[in-house]
Structure 1
Amino acid sequence: MKKRIGIVEDNRDLREALAMMIQFTEQFELAGTFENAESAIEVVPTLAIDALLMDVNLPGYSGYECVSILKTKNPNLLFIMCTSYEDDENIFKSLKAGASGYILKTEGPTKIIEALNDLFDGGSPMSSSIARKVVTSFSKFETTNESILLLTPRENEILELLATGKMNKEVADNLQISGGTVRKHIQHIYEKLQVNTRVEAVNMYLKR
């Protein structure tokens, strides 16, 4: 079944462009568009939506405030921030609110669709510049890296690619393995490093 995508974007032209982008795909269908957080908060819980593309800078409630409120109503709903803002405050407030990914609008339609695919593949898609900011922030904290020694050469290769901001599909293509194999390796990495997110895993890897 097609995954149903909603869009929260106050710029009309961009909102319509994103909607058209979704409609042109085979794996997704458009569930609804919203020009502000307030309308999304009211309507989204009544619809069968799998994920929302969410702008950060909205009139009224911000994008991350919208994420936080909708997460309490539907914990299984997935969010990707799709914005032009790449400052630390917006990034970390969005991730703390419950967003699973953070993509810059300048990445273009192809990258946004790849991010949605990665999201439903269990990933946390981020533009490479965003991933680097997150990793840099985590590197300020001490971690125990002895468990890195437990990783296999292939798991180290995958972590190295994740550290550059690559998505699951890009990792699979680079290593010429299947997406399912990548997911299994990432799960094993999480278990060995005793972490829950790729950001934590990458941070431990970089500080090895």
Structure 2
Amino acid sequence: MHKCLLVDDLPEGLSLMSALLTDVFPDLEQVMASSVHVAMEKIRRHQFRLALIDLELGDGNGADLIAWLAEQQPECIPIVGTIFDDDEHLMRALKAGAQGYVLKDQPPELISLQLHGIRDGLLPLSPAIARRLIQHFQKAVSVPGTEAGLSERERQVLGLLAKGLRLVDIAQALEISHHTVGDHVKSIYRKLNISSRAEAALEARRLGLVD
């Protein structure tokens, strides 16, 4: 059975997200942690398919945990679940590798709807967060060369990455090695000045590579 990691230092936060995830992903086994330290121990002991992580934790920052998780288990999908909607928290989390950003103070039915998108390869983003990201990249468009120089293969990789495919799936679809895909992703991130799947998905949409 696939597992999901839930990290929140407040019991009510864990309860809320646990209930919503049970509704959306009834087949996922949930593993809970109330601190960065406990979460790291869980990550060492288990392989996770999905992680829902708060940002301000008692013994550290969730963004740092996301970055560490991405190194330890690159196939895991880390999602932020928090009340913080400011640019500082948002951009730090995305640069750390978060692949979604959900605000916990929304109505539960909206959170559930956003989490449902994961099944279809969509990045769960609260509307307020999506608007912030769009504004961020609209500003970036005016910077010369921010999207220049992508090869045709890099455009293919970016499009598949934005659809939620794993690196191994992209390699199989394009009939190239997993390591070659990884090199293309690094090149794409460097050329577009981005550092996460969430940013890559928005860039792909802006470039017309996905609907």
TM-score by length of 2: 0.65
- Alignment partner, residue 200 of structure 1: 203
- Alignment partner, residue 125 of structure 2: 126
CA distance in structure 1 between the aligned counterparts of 2:85 and 2:113, rounded to whole angstroms: 19
- Deviation string for 1:155-184 (max 9, x for gaps)? xxxxxxxxxxxxx9xxxxxxxxxxxxxxxx
Q: Is the 1:135–1:203 contact (alpha carbons within 8 Å) kept by the matching residues of 2?
A: no
Q: Which amino acid aligns with 1:74?
A: Q
Q: Which amino acid aligns with 2:121?
A: G
Which runs of 5 or more structure 1 residues have no equivalent in the other structure? 146-167, 169-193
- Alignment partner, residue 117 of structure 1: 116
CA distance in structure 1 between the aligned counterparts of 2:107 and 2:26, rounded to whole angstroms: 18
CA distance in structure 1 between the aligned counterparts of 2:147 and 2:42, rounded to whole angstroms: 44
Residues 201, 25 of structure 1: CA spacing in aligned structure 2 closer, same or farther, 3 A cutoff?
A: closer
> 1:204 deviation in Å?
4.8
CA distance in structure 2 between the aligned counterparts of 1:117 and 1:23, rounded to whole angstroms: 11
Which runs of 5 or more structure 2 residues have no equivalent in the other structure? 149-162, 164-187
Q: Is the 1:7–1:19 contact (alpha carbons within 8 Å) kept by the matching residues of 2?
A: yes
CA distance in structure 2 between the aligned counterparts of 1:91 and 1:25, rounded to whole angstroms: 24
> 1:198 deviation in Å?
2.6
Aligned residue runs from structure 1 range 1-208, under 5 A:
3-25=2-24, 27-141=26-140, 142=143, 197-204=200-207
CA distance in structure 2 between the aligned counterparts of 1:124 and 1:198, rounded to whole angstroms: 8
CA distance in structure 2 between the aligned counterparts of 1:7 and 1:135, rounded to whole angstroms: 28
Residues 71, 144 of structure 1: CA spacing in aligned structure 2 closer, same or farther, 3 A cutoff?
A: closer
- Deviation string for 1:13-53 (max 9, x for gaps)? 22123223333456443321110111111212321321111
- Alignment partner, residue 185 of structure 1: none
1:107 alignment partner, SS class: coil
Q: Which amino acid aligns with 1:199?
A: L
Instruction: Tell me how many residue pairs correspond in the alignment.
Output: 159
CA distance in structure 2 between the aligned counterparts of 1:144 and 1:50, rounded to whole angstroms: 31
> 1:144 deviation in Å?
6.1
Q: Which amino acid aligns with 1:4?
A: K
1:123 alignment partner, SS class: coil
Q: Is the 1:22–1:28 contact (alpha carbons within 8 Å) kept by the matching residues of 2?
A: no
Q: Is the 2:4–2:51 contact (alpha carbons within 8 Å) kept by the matching residues of 1?
A: yes
Residues 30, 114 of structure 1: CA spacing in aligned structure 2 closer, same or farther, 3 A cutoff?
A: farther
Q: Which amino acid aligns with 2:56?
A: N
TM-score by length of 1: 0.66
CA distance in structure 2 between the aligned counterparts of 1:26 and 1:58, rounded to whole angstroms: 25
- Deviation string for 1:109-156 (max 9, x for gaps)? 3333333332242221211110111111111223569xxxxxxxxxxx
2:80 alignment partner, SS class: strand
